């Protein structure tokens, strides 16, 4: 079968590999859709300290069960499934407290296990043990189901930032994650949602699809000024930074309303993780700053329900569908910001 394998930073190859064999507690799937994201581009360029090459990449996975290990119950060939990306251990102190996104034993598809840029993939028992293999609801395509994983991460972020009814929400970053944030905030009853990006083309592409109440180009406009004007001088109830930008995080503090919440959704580059925070703004305005680290199995299930019910449509966010042979082109398209979501159909 064909796979996309990471060998070293800058050395990612489409190559032939033997079909994997599932162990007695595993499930084997025929991958039907595996979406790409900025993380894949990061791995391509820099590798990742959890990846020991060679490793098949791809973590936004949907497919069809083709073989079930002898000890596995509840699954059979032909089942349509979505696979979690971040796999918690289910047993540690955080997991037993229900904090599965910060499990310190977390392992991941495409990092510790071969991922979904392949014709066939083994879903390891680690996934099944934490109920991380999810049935795709009727009416949801494989491509849409592959977007459940990033949507699950967005859901985790908005739960932590308590996005809800009547909120004014600013989303900084108009990539696929930013688009999902806009859609989910609307589904949760946000009053107004404003989308910000430095790149005018990408902002326009995203705004055309997700229709924010205002689209603010940071290269042309002072973002803080614009948000303060749009919110009648009050600031936004929630600011979500879905961009790897310390400057955006610092700006977020300047445009958040009293008792507002700030989600540092996107991580910063490893060599530039420090920002400056006027702690008195946080103190006097009673701000909450929260992080976000991936998603739990339950977030993935909820994401599939949100897609199935139409509360968060994702089909139109998939702007490109490519065969596995073109996966390297897909990374280029993602890196250049030309697409919203690029889905590989192996």
Tell me which residues touch Zn ion (CB under 5 A): 37, 39, 88-89, 92, 95, 103, 105
With contact defined as beta carbons under 8 Å apart, do 182 and 196 qualify? no
Min dist CB 59 to Zn ion, Å, is: 6
The strand order across the sheet containing 2-8 reads 11-16, 2-8, 55-56
Number of Cβ within 10 Å of residue 269's Cβ equals 11
Cα–Cα distances in angstroms (integers) from residue 179 to residues 147, 194, 239, in the given order: 12, 11, 14
From the CA atom positions of the chain, what is the Rg in Å? 20
- The residue written with tokens 């014709």 in the block is 119
Say what angle helices 223-230 and 246-254 make with each other, to 10 degrees: 30
ω before 23 within 30° of 0 (cis)? no
Q: Which residues contact 271 (CB under 8 A, 6 or more apart)?
A: none
With contact defined as beta carbons under 8 Å apart, do 253 and 262 qualify? yes
The candidate with the shortest Cα–Cα distance to 61, out of 122, 145, 139, 141, is 145
Min dist CB 93 to Zn ion, Å, is: 8
Min dist CB 251 to Zn ion, Å, is: 25
Cα–Cα distances in angstroms (integers) from residue 73 to residues 85, 129, 135, in the given order: 21, 12, 14
Min dist CB 220 to Zn ion, Å, is: 29
Q: Measured from the CB atom, is 37 or 207 closer to Zn ion?
A: 37
How far is Cα 290 from Cα 162, in angstroms, rounded to an integer?
Answer: 10
Q: Measured from the CB atom, is 224 or 306 closer to Zn ion?
A: 306
Min dist CB 89 to Zn ion, Å, is: 4
Q: What is the token pair recorded at 27?
A: 């499930």
Q: Measured from the CB atom, is 105 or 309 closer to Zn ion?
A: 105
Q: Measured from the CB atom, is 190 or 240 closer to Zn ion?
A: 240
Q: Measured from the CB atom, is 85 or 170 closer to Zn ion?
A: 85
CA quadruple 152, 153, 155, 156: dihedral positive or negative?
positive
Min dist CB 90 to Zn ion, Å, is: 6
The dihedrals phi and psi of 109, each to the nearest 5 degrees, come to -70, 140
Min dist CB 157 to Zn ion, Å, is: 14
Q: Measured from the CB atom, is 100 or 169 closer to Zn ion?
A: 100
Q: Measured from the CB atom, is 171 or 226 closer to Zn ion?
A: 171
Min dist CB 234 to Zn ion, Å, is: 34
Q: Measured from the CB atom, is 32 or 192 closer to Zn ion?
A: 32
Number of Cβ within 10 Å of residue 146's Cβ equals 31
């Amino acid at each position: 079968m064909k796979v996309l394998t990471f060998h070293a930073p800058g050395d990612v190859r489409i190559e032939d590999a033997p079909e994997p064999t599932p162990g007695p507690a595993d499930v084997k799937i025929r991958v039907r859709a595996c979406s790409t994201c900025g993380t894949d581009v990061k791995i391509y360029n820099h590798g990742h300290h959890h990846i020991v090459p060679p490793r098949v990449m791809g973590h936004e996975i949907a497919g069809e069960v083709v073989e079930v290990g002898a000890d596995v119950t509840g699954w059979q060939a032909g089942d349509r499934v979505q696979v979690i990306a971040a796999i918690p251990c289910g047993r540690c102190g955080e997991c037993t407290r229900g904090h599965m996104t910060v499990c310190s034993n977390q392992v991941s598809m495409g990092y510790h296990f071969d991922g979904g840029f392949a014709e066939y993939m083994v879903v390891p028992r680690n996934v099944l043990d934490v109920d991380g293999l999810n049935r795709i609801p009727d009416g949801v395509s494989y491509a849409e189901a592959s977007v459940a994983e990033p949507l699950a991460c967005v859901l985790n972020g908005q739960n932590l930032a308590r996005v809800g009814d009547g909120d004014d929400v600013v989303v900084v970053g108009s990539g696929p994650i930013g688009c999902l944030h806009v859609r989910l905030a609307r589904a949760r009853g946000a009053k107004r949602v404003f989308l910000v990006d430095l790149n005018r083309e990408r902002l326009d592409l995203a705004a055309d699809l997700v229709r924010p109440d205002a689209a603010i180009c940071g290269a042309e406009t002072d973002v803080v000024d614009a948000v303060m004007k749009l919110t009648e001088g009050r600031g936004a109830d929630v600011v979500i930074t879905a961009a790897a930008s310390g400057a955006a995080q610092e700006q977020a503090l300047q445009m958040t309303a009293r008792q507002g919440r700030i989600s540092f959704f996107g991580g910063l580059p490893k060599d530039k993780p420090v920002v400056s925070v006027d702690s008195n703004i946080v103190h006097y305005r009673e701000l909450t700053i929260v992080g976000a680290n991936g998603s739990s199995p339950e977030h993935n299930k909820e994401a599939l329900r949100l897609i199935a019910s139409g509360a968060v449509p994702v089909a139109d966010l998939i702007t490109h569908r490519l065969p596995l042979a073109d996966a390297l082109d897909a990374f280029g398209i993602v890196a250049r910001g030309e697409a919203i979501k690029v889905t590989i159909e192996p």
